[in-house]
Structure 1
Amino acid sequence: MSLYYRWKNFEEDEDRPEKPRLFGVTEMRGPNHTLLTQNVLQDIFESMGQFVDGLKFSGGSHSLMPKSFLKQVIDMAHQHNVYVSTGDWAEHLIRKGPSAFKDYVEECKQMGFDTIELNVTSLEVPEDTLLRYVRLIKSGGLKAKPQFAVKFNNSDIPIGGDRAFGAYVPPPPRSTELVEDVDLLIRRAERCLEAGADMIMIDADDLCKHADSVRADVIAKVIGRLGLEKTMFDASNARASEWFVKQYGPKVNLFVDHSQVMDLECLRGCNLGKNHNSVLGSSYFLF
């Protein structure tokens, strides 16, 4: 363990396991909307590597990088026991035919990727085809992570701006169409797990943007059917991360921006928020 920080144990019933972790996984967004140089990533891994389980190249960003640079970043992540995942890119290659996807899986393996993510919404393929892609990834020696999107109608998200502070807001009627969509999502995700998928990513962007009006019933249904260990949620902002940890404890798996890693780890530590000193020994801080 590094001399620059000292990890304090959580409460006995919420002990933080060492990597590789099966639950309480923190996957970090890699280069996408912002440019993260190799030096920046190295600083993150050296200072917070113990808290980062995975690195994902979102939006197909890895396809724009020189292979030599990409290989260096992947090797650096592996040195810190961090797995590396592709982002939304496989669906673009699938349009070129099954052979292109098979070549893509082989190239990812040669580059050192550990996981291939499949955006089910963008794929727009029959379920049998989706399951075949999952098995193809697994047969190639990589982990498969299908990504599903929870759809929300605007009427399902209360608007809090046009009301007096503390005023009662009547709950909107539940949408039958929404419930059916979630049930279908869960059934397809279950079949993906049966086909060998290692994790299910849930993209509930509308939900995360309105963390104060989270559809807790939908999230509870997804976790209840798929299991906490096999589900990862895209927490697009700090409030969403806080909501998930408070509702489901430190064992919930979350995908966050690199700027949220430290705060998320402190939230996992008995919901201590941004009180970093309460989770990290004072020797962590060099100033």
Structure 2
Amino acid sequence: MNIERPLQEQKSMTDATERAFSDIVPIIEPKPKPRTVGLTEIRSPAYSLSQLTGIVEGLGDFIDSVKWTCGTQRLLSRDTVKEINAYLHANAIEVSTGGLIETVLPLGEVAVHRYLEQSKELGFDIVELSSALVSISVQDKVNLVKAVNALGMKAKPEITGWSPGDRGKISADKMIRECEAMVEAGAWKIMIEEDGLFSSGNSANDERDWNRDAVWRIASRIPEDMLYWEASSVTIIRWLLGSFGPDVNIFAGAEDLGYIAAFRAGTFAMNIAAFNG
């Protein structure tokens, strides 16, 4: 039996003068939504609507999109997925499919197109095109970008320095060529996988082992507004913001949202003057 639950009214962004200590501590206020730079996407398993409401009610001003992770949308009813996505939309937050397509790709072209169509029906805005676990050619990824665009959704291909099963030397040139192909194909944004740059096997590396050269080469060739950087630790988040400024786009776990928002605003451990040029 379906139980209709009314959605809460959309929450407008908090007025700057209403924020605590507004007459004492200057901060960089978040730009109005929808934003094109300084984007924050958080990872959430989204088991239920109640799981997300606390995050949205507290720091929703600072969230641009929520990514369903580990294919958890496959575990819930269609009505529940629609309800969660609609709630996020009502709060000016877009919704990403996450990397479920990697499970779909081996099932064939028909399954992929059905997946894209049903993602649209369920209220997803952004389709992540991951290839960290399943090998896919650049041309096939280009075709997927175009297929997503044709359905009126936003394609966000993921670029990684390693091929599935290959942990050899990272090729910044390979990553740049793939990024350029995705931009030309009409990708909305490009997710730069941190594995091989800041981490190995999803475990953060010591800062001394980061591949800063590859990061800077990518950043110098691809427009800043096109890049989303994955960051699995506060240390990586601080480095990205310190290196590229508050307009850098960051994808991280929901548990790090407060740090990202505070660092962007300049309320904690970051230099406001540096952000103001």
| Cα shift at 1:231 | 0.5
Counterpart among 253, 256, 261 of residue 257 in structure 2: 261
The answer on whether the counterparts of 1:146 and 1:200 sit within 8 Å (CA) in structure 2 is yes
Counterpart among 2, 23, 33 of residue 19 in structure 1: 33
| Cα shift at 1:273 | 3.3
Matched, 1:135 2:146: yes
Partner of 1:69: 80
Distance 2:26 2:36 in 1: 19
Distance 1:271 1:42, change over 3 A: closer
Distance 2:38 2:173 in 1: 25
Residue-by-residue CA offset, 1:168-211 (whole Å, 9 max, x unaligned)? xxxxxxx9x43xx2211110111111111111101113514125
Counterpart among 198, 207, 211 of residue 212 in structure 1: 207
Partner of 1:245: 241
Structure 2 unaligned spans of 5+: 1-12, 271-277
Distance 1:23 1:104 in 2: 29
Equivalent positions of 1:1-287 (< 5 A) are 1-2=13-14, 6=19, 16-31=30-45, 36-151=47-162, 177-178=169-170, 181-206=171-196, 207-208=198-199, 209-210=204-205, 212-213=207-208, 214-270=210-266, 272-273=268-269
Identity of aligned residues (%): 27
Higher relative contact order (CA 8 A, sep 6+): 1
Structure 1 unaligned spans of 5+: 153-174, 275-287
For residue 205 of structure 1, give the secondary structure of its aligned residue in structure 2.
Answer: coil
Distance 1:63 1:256 in 2: 22
Distance 2:29 2:113 in 1: 40
| Cα shift at 1:101 | 0.9
Distance 1:211 1:27 in 2: 24
The answer on whether the counterparts of 1:146 and 1:192 sit within 8 Å (CA) in structure 2 is yes
Distance 1:145 1:123 in 2: 16
Partner of 2:274: none
Distance 2:192 2:137 in 1: 19
The answer on whether the counterparts of 2:44 and 2:254 sit within 8 Å (CA) in structure 1 is yes
Q: Which ranges of 4 or more aligned residues in structure 1 deviate by more than 3 Å?
A: 1-5, 7-12
| Cα shift at 1:91 | 2.3
Aligned length: 246
For residue 99 of structure 2, give the secondary structure of its aligned residue in structure 1.
Answer: coil
Distance 1:36 1:91 in 2: 20
For residue 247 of structure 2, give the secondary structure of its aligned residue in structure 1.
Answer: coil
Distance 1:36 1:69 in 2: 9
Q: RMSD value over aligned CA atoms?
A: 2.7
Distance 2:188 2:26 in 1: 29
For residue 229 of structure 1, give the secondary structure of its aligned residue in structure 2.
Answer: helix
TM-score (norm 1): 0.78
The answer on whether the counterparts of 2:14 and 2:61 sit within 8 Å (CA) in structure 1 is no
The answer on whether the counterparts of 2:48 and 2:84 sit within 8 Å (CA) in structure 1 is no
TM-score (norm 2): 0.81
The answer on whether the counterparts of 1:151 and 1:204 sit within 8 Å (CA) in structure 2 is no
Distance 1:36 1:64 in 2: 9
Matched letter for residue 98 of structure 1 = E
| Cα shift at 1:133 | 1.1
- Which of 243-252 and 62-71 deviates more? 62-71
The answer on whether the counterparts of 1:211 and 1:243 sit within 8 Å (CA) in structure 2 is no
The answer on whether the counterparts of 1:263 and 1:273 sit within 8 Å (CA) in structure 2 is no
Q: Which has the larger radius of gyration?
A: 1
